[in-house]
Structure 1
Amino acid sequence: MTDDRRFTTSSALDIEAEGAPAATISAGPSAAAPPRPTPLRWKKNLALFALTVVSVFVAGTLWAPITPEDDSLLSLVKALPQAWPFAVPFLSILLAHEFGHYFAARAHGVEASLPYFIPLPVVSPLGTMGAVISMKGTIKSRNALLDIGASGPLAGLVVAIPVLLVGLARSEVHATSGPALQEGRSLLYLLLRWLAVGPIPESHDVFLGPTAMAGWAGLLITAFNLFPVGQLDGGHVAYALFGEKQDRYGRAAHLLMLALFLGNVAYFTPRFRAEGLPDALGAAIANGMPWLMWFGVVYVMLRVGGREHPPTEPGALSPARRAIAVVTLILFVLLLMPTPFGTY
């Protein structure tokens, strides 16, 4: 997720100077001095990343075969290194995603911060909400906007796909029995699973190991960020492709999140009732809850950052970048998981 909103100071002089014609000033040692770039701050970024590492390792205890000596906190801390098969590849996917944005922004001369990672222990089964990169000023051209918006998801997928394939190859196929928590299924995920595991017998399923879970989580966060709305990565890509029309398309994409939540409730409630679950409606709501939560998060983002995407200067995308934009939005469709986590 990136944020390329224009940042201006509260000084009237600075705001007026942005659009004022250059004045003729006699030469002097300070007249032509270029503005100093903002120094790159990293201490807060490093601290947040360290907390995120710990949080992701804690989350990894859910997915790795951890065997602590007892239920004490000390025993859990000693067992944390065993969570590396999930934590290390998942953190690698996050780093590739965020630094894809960062290096693309720097390549286009856009002043960007290092990633601010967001630890979310216990609450999130992944241990984090990802990261944010703040950018000062504006992204002037559509080409630059496309490069910065698409670079993160594409870089993350370059790591996530091989991680998932390796993890799936090491996962086991077992017979299923009774209700279970199932990972979301997207078209791309099903294709990769078929390539890694082959046909799965009826009444059997792949029980994801920790590395496969990390790769799958990489697909999930990429799908969330590629939603073409607001200043999510997909919003940047879509605005670079469609221009101001994207503000209207983005509102429809936002409502799609709510529709996915309602669709889960409408689909699973009668199914769970037929299966005799005591709280069919509650279970159906739980299956759709990730979409309701993401709808709320994006709603807050739009309220704070504005419902309309910051404009770029006139000019169309280059043919190569137009193709990249189309491919990136197709990837969003291939990555979309109607039920990110579900009880079946």
Structure 2
Amino acid sequence: MDLNKQTKTRLIQLGLFLTTLVTTTLAGTEWTIGKFIILGMTWDDFLFGFQFSIPFLLILTVHEFGHYFTARYHKINVTLPYYIPMWLGFIGAPTIGTFGAFIRIKESIISRIKYFDVGVSGPISGFVVALAMMVYGFQSLPETDYIYEIHPEYEIFGENFEQRMDGLDTLILKSDLNPARMSYETLQDTIDTGREGSISFGDNILMNLGRQYLAPDDRYVPSSKELMHYPILLAAYLAFFFTALNLLPIGQLDGGHVLFGLFGAKNHGIISRVMFTCFLFYAGLGWVTTADLVNTSIESLGGFLLNIAVYLIVLYWSTASVFKEKRNRLLYATAMFTVQFFVASIFKVEGYTGWLVFSILIGRFIGVDHPPVVDNRPLTMGRKILGWVALIIFILSFSPQPLVIHGI
């Protein structure tokens, strides 16, 4: 690479990293103490956000350099990481400050073993650091007064405020209300009015284990509804989420490379399609049920039918890499919708519509198949064990409903 071009690339990468450091720090302040730039964030507030951004970016960086150093070990032409900043705090919208990071592999990988090594190294490297952060986060929880500083209204309900509030969601009271001067009943009514739109993070196996076995007994252990106020634990949780997302055993995701390495091209194609179908099935489960049909009036029938049409289009888009023929995509979408409709209606179960975005991303853009290789030698026993460890990490880290907006 030309020296000037290389310098320019390095400056772009450094600039993206520094920008992402700023945006994730802003996001950390917004999540943990509820301060936005447009709503009175101070310099001290901003500095507090480093308690989230530093551990989160450390995990992300270790993940990407796991890929990078493994690729370099195999003499694959690869770039340093490109970080992707993303922040909407200027309009009061909460974000995590980034869309992640990526490295560019600038040549074809022709070996099954190399694909496996590069794919598995990132998630496992990042997971080890995220696990350490989770352990530290639970074992160093602040005193219970910390949550009262953020939510003074909770103190009126006592130490077991979450149980006494009957599981109500987090509410930031209006600035002109003083919780200390409010009666229990008035405070309860005020909290009731703020339930809609509140946010909680869905649990996974690891976070549940951490709450049970790592947290001190004499301090408040944050539930999924209060996790956002604990920056190190929030960073670990989000790292688990992205680790699980990367390890989905589908297509060309890191988990897809693991799947390809473990089972070969033919079996990868079968398993990847089965996993994608299960993922898509869960994502859209409950989009439309018989209850919606019963509650639809003649006046709202048009909107009801439009809702179904939009969903069928989403299913159709999601299968672009699954079927080449448009007719097969349409049949697949229709069959998927029909089964989802009856399963959700009969068993009263719902999936997580947020996964539909990733279904489109995987099914239409990333693809459910894996590139072929010239060197198809099977994995060594050590690599096979590592591959199964990666799949176990996926199960431990995966959250069926990672982000829930209540009342919507």
Same fold, judged at TM 0.5 (above):
yes
For 1:241 and 1:53, the matched residues in 2 are separated by: 36
Mapped pair 1:296 → 2:360: yes
Contact 2:362 2:368 in 1 (8 A): no
Residues 252 and 44 (structure 1 numbering): CA distance in 2 closer, same or farther, change over 3 Å?
Answer: farther
Aligned-residue offset at 1:315: 0.7
Task: Provide the residue aligned with 2:179 in structure 1.
Answer: none
Over the residues paired in the alignment, what is the CA RMSD in angstroms? 3.5
| 1:172-183 matched pairs, under 5 angstroms | 174-176=160-162, 177=165, 178-180=168-170, 181-183=199-201
Mapped pair 1:308 → 2:294: no
Deviations 1:218-267 (A, max 9, x none): 11110111111122111111111111121222222223332232347589
Contact 1:59 1:127 in 2 (8 A): yes
Aligned-pair identity (%) = 31
Task: Provide the residue aligned with 1:138 in structure 2.
Answer: 108
Deviations 1:250-300 (A, max 9, x none): 222223332232347589x99xxxxxxxxxx9xx9x982431222122234
The answer to which structure has the higher helix fraction is 2
Work out which of the residue numbers 194, 207, 212 in structure 2 matches 1:189.
207
Task: Provide the residue aligned with 1:327 in structure 2.
Answer: 389
Task: Provide the residue aligned with 1:7 in structure 2.
Answer: none
Work out which of the residue numbers 143, 146, 160 in structure 1 matches 2:130.
160
Aligned-residue offset at 1:68: 7.6
SS at match of 2:100: strand
Contact 1:66 1:83 in 2 (8 A): no
Residues 314 and 190 (structure 1 numbering): CA distance in 2 closer, same or farther, change over 3 Å?
Answer: same
Contact 2:28 2:53 in 1 (8 A): yes
Aligned-residue offset at 1:321: 0.2
Aligned-residue offset at 1:214: 0.8
| 1:139-288 matched pairs, under 5 angstroms | 139-169=109-139, 170=141, 174-176=160-162, 177=165, 178-180=168-170, 181-197=199-215, 205=223, 207-208=226-227, 209-244=230-265, 245-263=267-285, 288=352
Aligned-residue offset at 1:90: 0.5
For 2:214 and 2:11, the matched residues in 1 are separated by: 41
Contact 1:186 1:335 in 2 (8 A): yes
SS at match of 2:354: helix
Aligned-residue offset at 1:317: 0.2
Residues 56 and 205 (structure 1 numbering): CA distance in 2 closer, same or farther, change over 3 Å?
Answer: closer
Mapped pair 1:49 → 2:14: no
Task: Provide the residue aligned with 1:26 in structure 2.
Answer: none
Mapped pair 1:110 → 2:171: no
For 2:37 and 2:81, the matched residues in 1 are separated by: 36
Contact 2:284 2:353 in 1 (8 A): no
Name which of structure 1's ranges 172-181 and 146-155 shifts more when overlaid on structure 2.
172-181
Contact 1:287 1:341 in 2 (8 A): no
Matched to 2:386, the amino acid is I
Q: What is the TM-score with the length of structure 1 in the denominator? A: 0.74
Residues 337 and 199 (structure 1 numbering): CA distance in 2 closer, same or farther, change over 3 Å?
Answer: farther
Residues 232 and 139 (structure 1 numbering): CA distance in 2 closer, same or farther, change over 3 Å?
Answer: same
Aligned-residue offset at 1:119: 1.3
For 2:218 and 2:273, the matched residues in 1 are separated by: 39
Task: Provide the residue aligned with 2:312 in structure 1.
Answer: none
For 1:192 and 1:311, the matched residues in 2 are separated by: 41
SS at match of 2:404: strand
Q: Show structure 1 runs of 5+ residues with no match.
A: 1-34, 271-280
SS at match of 2:248: coil
Contact 1:116 1:132 in 2 (8 A): yes
For 2:371 and 2:102, the matched residues in 1 are separated by: 17
SS at match of 1:42: helix
The answer to which structure has the higher strand fraction is 1
For 2:213 and 2:58, the matched residues in 1 are separated by: 23
Contact 1:265 1:288 in 2 (8 A): no
Aligned-residue offset at 1:95: 0.4
Number of residue pairs the alignment of both structures matches: 290
Task: Provide the residue aligned with 2:50 in structure 1.
Answer: 84
Task: Provide the residue aligned with 1:125 in structure 2.
Answer: 95
For 1:110 and 1:52, the matched residues in 2 are separated by: 27
Q: Show structure 2 runs of 5+ residues with no match.
A: 145-158, 171-198, 293-306, 308-347
